[in-house]
Each structure stands twice: as structure tokens, then as C-alpha cells.
């Protein structure tokens, strides 16, 4: 089976590609960037020189593909769409271009299942309970949330237009060795390791669901094996916002376990052996960003278990 991975040189995309290669798949990898940074180049070298690297073919930027060559290779594909999870707001236009490129792909190829990466940032702030995938997210409260929600709406429209099974995975806070420098764990780790003073007044002591990148990749791989199906009993109500009358589903991917930033700082301090230097006090109104993963565990049969 041929697999197309759009965003193979991103943090999540690279990890997913490694797992698909380990399972014996032949992977056609595409970048979702127009130019490659050293980060993206290093990820590509890792894939090409790694386990089963001879089954990996890098095809360039997906934004420049017309898919004729792919049509000659196979009649049908599994497809991952894995854009950068911490893309800056200024790159929102690029994400729109990336998502619209999928429309051209779906019109040209027979896609068996499309698995797409979204994020928890589109949920409304919570104080106590965990976040559920069927929550109303129609009124984004940040540009980052609006970017993600726009992408999801376009994906639903494509699923309806082309009858393509599409599963959206809302990943919670990802971390790992190659994580984006703006990710919460990476940013605080760098500050502590460099013995910088952390200004607590710039942070809320929020509770996060931290997801190890290998677990996130495994969740993606498990999902591709369970194509989204139509909800025959779908109604437009609060209980059905994570499914559709079309083959479209939304799941949370997280551990379901919350860790406060104060706890995170202490864990990093212990791991690095460096002195923790802080000033000021935490902002008030502590929020909770933790996944309710019950449906993902039930339908996909997997739950991330690696804890900080």
C-alpha cells in the first residue's frame, strides 16, 4: 500500500513517516513548505538514512504538485495531512493554501482515508472539566483557533464533496526532542537549561495535557487503519458535533492527565539539574487544557500512556 504523507518533514509528520516505514509501507513524502529550513532538511535526512529508508521517496513541496506521477503509481492511497502544530499566526495564509491543495489532490486521486492534524487551541477555555471533541467551537477566541477551525471546516466540505473518509485529530500539547522552539516544554526547558530568569507574571499556571511525539505518531498510524464512517443517526446538536452525515470524524489525542506549569518547571529542573530562577507571580484565572479521550480510545483502540 502506498501512503502519501503531506508534511513529512514536520515534527509529527517525521515521526508518523518513521512508524509507517517500520510497518513496511511505501511512503511518498511531501513538504508543506515552499522553502526548507535546517530543521526540515535534518528530518528528511533522518528519514532517508533511517530504517527502511529505501521505501521512502521525497517528492518535494505538495504546494507545487499536480499529482500526475502519483496517478501512474497507484489507483488509491492513504493520506496524512500533518501541518506544523505550532505554526505562527502570520503563516495562516500558508495553511489555507496547504488545505486548499488537498481539494486538488482529492479531485485527482482515489483517497481511501484522509487523516488530518488539528489542535486543542480551538476549544473554549475550561476551568475544571476535560475538553470533549463534540464541544461547540464555532466562535474562535484567537487567530490561532480561527486558523484551525477554518481548516477543519474546509476538510468537512471536502469530505462531503468527494465522499472521502476524513478523520481530524485534535492533538494536545506535543513535546519531544525535535519539538518546535515555541512549544511550551521546549521553551521552558531552554530557559532553565540556560539558567535564564523566568518571569511568572507572563504565564498562567495552566494545566496542560502533554503528549509525547511518539505517542502522537502511534495514534495517527492507528487512526489510518479505521476510516471515518457516516453517522447514520446524525443530527445538528451538541452530541453530534464530532461526526457528520458524511464520512467525517473528530477525535482528541491526549493522555487525559493534566500537569500544571508549576509542576512542569519542577520536572525540568530535576531533569536538567539546573537551578530554577523565577520572578513575579503567576497570572490569575488558571485554565485547564486536558483531553477527554474516551471516544478515541473506544473507536480507535489506543490511548497515549507516556507521562512527563
Q: How high is the pLDDT of residue 85?
A: 66
Q: Residue written as cell 473518509?
A: 165
Residue-level pLDDT at 289: 93
Give the Å distances, CA to CA, from 281 to 127, 200, 204, 262: 19, 5, 9, 11
Distance CA 209, CA 173 (A): 6
Where are any strands of DSSP class E within 96-239? 110-119, 166-171, 173-175, 198-199, 207-208, 210-212
- Shortest CA distance to 293 belongs to which of 243, 255, 260, 267? 255
- Domain ranges in the chain are 2-172+213-254+292-300, 184-207+258-288
- Per-residue model confidence (pLDDT) at position 233: 87
Contacts (Cβ under 8 Å, ≥6 apart) of 49: none
CATH topology of domain 2-172+213-254+292-300: Rossmann fold (3.40.50)
Q: What is the pLDDT of residue 88?
A: 57
CA atoms within 13 A on the CB side of 136: 5
Helices (H), 109-176: 143-162
The series of mean pLDDT values per 10 residues for the chain, 308 residues long, is 91 95 94 83 92 93 88 90 70 78 90 95 85 83 84 93 96 84 86 93 94 96 95 78 93 96 94 92 90 95 90
* pLDDT for residue 228: 95
Phi then psi for 177, rounded to 5 degrees?
-60, -35
**How far, in Å, CA of 164 to CA of 161, rounded?**
8
Work out the angle at residue 18's Cα, subtended by the Cα atoms of residues 16 and 19, and round it to the nearest 5 degrees. 65
Q: What is the pLDDT of residue 299?
A: 95
The confidence score (pLDDT) of residue 34 equals 77
| pLDDT value for 222 | 96
Determine the pLDDT at residue 9: 92
Amino acid at each position: 500500500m502506498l501512503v502519501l504523507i503531506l508534511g513529512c518533514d514536520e515534527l509529527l509528520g517525521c515521526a508518523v513517516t518513521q512508524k509507517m516505514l517500520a510497518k513496511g509501507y511505501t511512503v511518498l513524502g511531501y513538504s508543506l513548505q515552499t522553502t526548507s529550513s535546517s530543521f526540515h532538511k535534518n528530518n528528511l535526512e533522518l528519514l532517508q538514512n533511517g530504517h527502511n529508508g529505501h521505501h521512502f521517496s521525497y517528492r518535494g513541496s505538495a504546494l507545487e504538485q499536480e499529482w500526475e506521477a502519483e496517478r501512474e503509481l497507484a489507483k488509491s492511497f492513504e493520506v496524512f495531512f500533518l501541518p506544523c502544530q505550532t505554526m505562527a499566526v502570520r503563516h495562516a495564509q500558508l495553511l489555507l493554501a496547504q488545505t486548499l491543495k488537498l481539494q486538488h489532490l482529492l479531485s485527482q486521486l482515489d483517497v481511501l482515508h484522509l487523516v488530518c492534524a488539528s489542535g486543542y487551541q480551538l476549544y473554549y477555555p475550561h476551568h475544571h472539566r476535560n475538553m470533549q471533541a463534540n464541544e461547540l467551537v464555532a466562535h474562535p477566541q484567537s487567530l490561532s483557533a480561527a486558523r484551525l477551525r477554518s481548516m477543519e471546516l474546509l476538510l468537512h466540505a471536502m469530505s462531503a464533496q468527494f465522499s472521502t473518509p476524513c478523520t481530524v485529530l485534535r492533538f494536545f500539547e506535543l513535546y519531544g526532542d525535535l519539538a518546535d522552539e515555541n512549544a511550551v516544554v521546549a521553551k521552558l526547558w531552554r530557559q532553565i537549561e540556560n539558567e535564564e530568569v523566568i518571569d511568572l507574571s507572563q504565564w498562567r499556571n495552566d494545566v496542560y495535557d502533554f503528549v509525547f511525539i511518539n505517542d502522537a505518531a502511534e495514534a495517527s498510524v492507528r487512526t489510518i487503519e479505521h476510516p471515518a464512517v457516516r453517522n447514520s443517526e446524525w443530527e445538528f446538536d451538541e452530541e453530534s458535533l464530532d461526526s457528520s452525515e458524511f464520512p467525517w470524524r473528530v477525535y482528541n489525542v491526549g493522555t487525559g492527565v493534566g500537569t500544571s506549569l508549576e509542576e512542569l518547571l519542577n520536572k525540568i529542573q530535576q531533569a536538567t539539574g539546573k537551578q530554577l530562577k523565577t520572578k513575579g507571580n503567576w497570572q490569575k484565572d488558571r485554565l485547564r487544557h486536558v483531553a477527554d479521550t474516551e471516544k478515541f480510545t473506544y473507536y480507535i483502540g489506543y490511548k497515549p500512556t507516556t507521562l512527563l
